[in-house]
Amino acid sequence: MVEVLLVVGVLVAMFVAYNIGGSTTGPAFGPAVGADAISKTGAAALMGVFFFLGAWTIGRNVVTKLGSELVVDPGVFTLEASITVLFFIGIALLVGNVFGVPASTSMTAVGAIAGLGLAGGVLDFAVMGEIVVWWVVSPIIGFWVSLIVGRYFYARLNRMVAMERSDGPLLDVDRSGVLPIPRVHRTTNRRELIGTVTVVAIGCLMAFSSGTSNIANAVAPLVGSGELAMDPAILLGGVAVAIGAFTIARRTLETMGSDITELPLTAAIVVATVSSTLVVFLSALGIPASFVVIATMSIVGLGWGRATRPVTVPEAVSGEEAPRVTVDALAADEEGERLPPIGEEDAEEVPSGADLFNPATTARVVLMQNVVPAIATLGAYLTFRFVPMFGF
């Protein structure tokens, strides 16, 4: 009987990991896909590789934390309880993926485990409180940093890294030898190559960071129960994540890459840098990072900042209010030439606010990212509290 339950538990854990691949590939590589720097297939392959590297190295620490520290008595992670927790995590994530919205796997997993802890009276409220505080603070930081960059520094960054995409592919593959060798296409310019490599590399960093945090969401209950060793658990989880990245992640790639805000390559680099930095910081603190929420709010902040660029200041002269003057009008070189507006592209490159920030899609994303963890938490609590087989 135990062997049958263990097989069921492994299958449910892989189901959860499959949905993690679907929900986290979008935030990691959505900016790169939206900027046409990489295909969806290429994004899925890189997601699988770098997620596994992050899980195999740093992710072990987070697995231990969720499997033993969030509840004061790890004994509640019986095999049956672990399967039930994973079931609610998987169902909740599946709901988000069906709606094309990348849900927070960390919030969902911690919510389901918290439901178990509340029902059994073993939840460590101090650890839970610390995690929740960072969940609230980190998206706010991501939003405001991205907003400031979009409002005041985007133009300067755009002149440094943005470029027109050349005709033809970025790379050609030389198949004349025994092994295929990639070569830069003859129409590819150096700036385009550097920019593309940069945004893809940052996506890989985000995938690595996701692995360090999110592998625990799929395997921590089983590892905490002692029924599954750490190494095979991470291996199975990594395989399932890769499958999810190649299949169900296509919808979230579209949502994160184009539906919320238009993302030229410069914007993609900004979003990826801000998000990955915050995720690495939280992982260093041992906090299961709300990866999706941070990335989403960074995209929203950048879009809002670019859509609200004009800044004016009133100035009184001789008791009368002077005309409202834009900040960039105060900046001029020694010869009297006005410098480019702060945070504003050339006139022909400036899209409207509606093109940069889509409130309807953003509202849908934020709503689902709160509903999905709530489903897992409430479902787990009610099950463990009122189903007699668990004995709570």
The predicted pLDDT at position 233 comes to: 94
> Rounded CA gap, 141 and 279, in Å?
12
pLDDT attached to residue 274: 87
Q: Write down the pLDDT at residue 312.
A: 44
Backbone angles phi, psi at 123, to 5 degrees: -70, 130
CA 39 – CA 26 distance, rounded (Å): 12
pTM here is 0.72
Asked whether 75 and 392 are in contact (CB, 8 A), the reply is: no
Closest CA relative to residue 139, chosen from 252, 292, 367:
292
Other beta carbons within 10 angstroms of residue 366's beta carbon come to 16
Q: Is 43 helix (H, G, I), strand (E, B) or coil?
A: helix
**Bridge partners for 182 per DSSP:** 173
- Residue 330 is predicted with a pLDDT of 27
| Whole-number pLDDT of residue 187 | 59
Chain centre to alpha carbon of residue 4: 35
Amino acid at 283: S
Domain-wise residue ranges, the chain: 2-309+344-390
Whose structure tokens read 């929203």?
A: 300
Tokens of 166: 């050349």
Contacts of 208 (CB under 8 A, 6+ apart): 50, 51, 53, 54
Q: How far apart are CA 164 and CA 199, in angstroms?
A: 15
- Two structure tokens written together for 312: 């004016």
pLDDT for the residue 269: 76
- State residue 227's pLDDT score: 84
Residue 161 one-letter amino acid: V
CB 265 within 8 A of CB 196: yes
On average, the pLDDT of the chain sits at 76
pLDDT for 191: 67
Residue 231 in tokens: 């190494």
Q: What is the 3-state secondary structure (H, E, C) of 301-342?
A: HHHHHHHCCCCEECCEECCEECCCEEHHHHCECCCCCECCCC
**Residue spans of alpha helices (H) in 99-183:** 105-120, 125-148, 154-161
Structural contact between residues 258 and 235, judged by C-beta atoms closer than 8 angstroms = no
Q: What is the pLDDT of residue 346?
A: 46
Q: Residue ranges of the alpha helices (H) in the chain?
A: 2-34, 40-57, 59-64, 79-98, 105-120, 125-148, 154-161, 190-225, 230-246, 249-254, 265-284, 291-307, 353-356, 359-386
Q: How confident is the model at residue 102, as a pLDDT? A: 60
For the chain, which residues score pLDDT lower than 70? 1-2, 31, 35, 97, 100-103, 161-174, 180, 182-192, 252, 254-265, 291-292, 310-362, 365-366, 390-392
